[in-house]
Amino acid sequence: MSQWKRHHDAVFVDRDFDQRPFLHGEWSVLCMAAPAYFLETPPILATDKQKAHLKLYGGLEQAIASMGDTELVGALQGGPHLNPSMFHSDQVTGASVFQMRQQAVDGFDLNVFSRSESWGLVVSWEEELALIGGSQAFMASLDRAVGGREAIRANFKDASAYLLELGNSQRALVARLTTLFD
C-alpha cells in the first residue's frame, strides 16, 4: 500500500476535519452527509431522505469515474497506526467507502482518494459527516450528477440536524462547517 502514499500526500494535509484538510487551497470544498448505512437500504424501501442520500453518493461515484478513477483508497488520518491504516477497493462505490469505514478499527478520520489526485473525501470518524473537495472539473461533474450544490447542502443540512440537538459544541461544529466551506 505504500505506493498510494504519494497520491494521498498530493491531496491531503494533516489538518482537522473542520480546518480544510486538502492540500489545494483553490479546490472547492463542500460539507456532505455521510451516513453510509443508508447505502445498505434497498432503493425500493428507502425513505425520501434515504433516496436523496443515495442520489448524492451515486453522483459522487459518477464524478469519481469521470476523473478516470477505477479504484479507491482510504487512509486513516495521522497514520501509519499500529492497526492497518490504509484500505484499498477496486470498485468506486459508496458501498466500498462504507466497507473502508468498517475496516478502520481506530478512531481517526478517513481520507478517501484515488490516482487522479483530483478529489478527496474526508469522513469524520465521530459523526456522520464528510467533506468533499476537488478540482474545478471534478466539482462540475459532481454538480451535474447530483443536481447542483444546493442538493448537497440540503442533504447535509437534513443529515446534520440531529447534531444541533446535542449541545453547543456540536452546534458550533455545524456552524463552522457550513460557513467555512463553499
Answer with the residue of higher pLDDT: 174 or 43.
Answer: 174
- Among residues 69, 80, 160, 170, which one has the least CA distance to residue 121? 69
Q: What is the pLDDT of residue 27?
A: 94
Q: Report the pLDDT averaged over residues 36-45.
A: 63
Q: Model-level pTM?
A: 0.87
**Which residue reads 443529515 in cell numbers?**
159
Given a cut of 70, whether residue 72 has pLDDT beyond it is yes
Closest CA to 65 of 25, 115, 21, 107: 115
Give residues with Cβ within 8 angstroms of 4, minimum separation 6: 73, 75, 86, 88
> Does residue 135 surpass a pLDDT of 70?
yes
**Nearest-angstrom CA–CA distance, 112 and 8:** 8
What tens digit of pLDDT does each residue of 100-126 get? 877 777 778 889 999 999 999 998 877
Q: Please, which pLDDT band fits residue 36 given cuts at 50, 70 and 90?
A: low
Q: CA 72 to CA 80: how far, in whole Å? A: 18
pLDDT given for residue 180 in this prediction = 59
**pLDDT score, position 41:** 60
Looking at residue 127, its pLDDT comes to 65
**DSSP state letters, the chain:** -GGGHHHHHTTB-S--GGG--BS-TTSEEEEEE--GGGGGS-GGG--HHHHHHHHHHHHHHHHHHHTT---EEEEETT---SS--EEEESS-SHHHHHHHHHH--SS--EEEE-TT-SEEEEE-SSSSEEEEEE-HHHHHHHHHHHT-HHHHHHHHHHHHGGGGGS-HHHHHHHHHHHHH--
Give dist(CA 138, CA 141) in Å, integer: 5
Query: Is the CB of residue 111 less than 8 Å from the CB of residue 40?
Result: no
Torsion of CA 144, 149, 155, 161, to 10 degrees: 170
Phi, psi for 90 (deg, rounded to 5): -90, 20
d(CA 56, CA 62): 10
Q: Work out the average pLDDT over 35-60.
A: 74
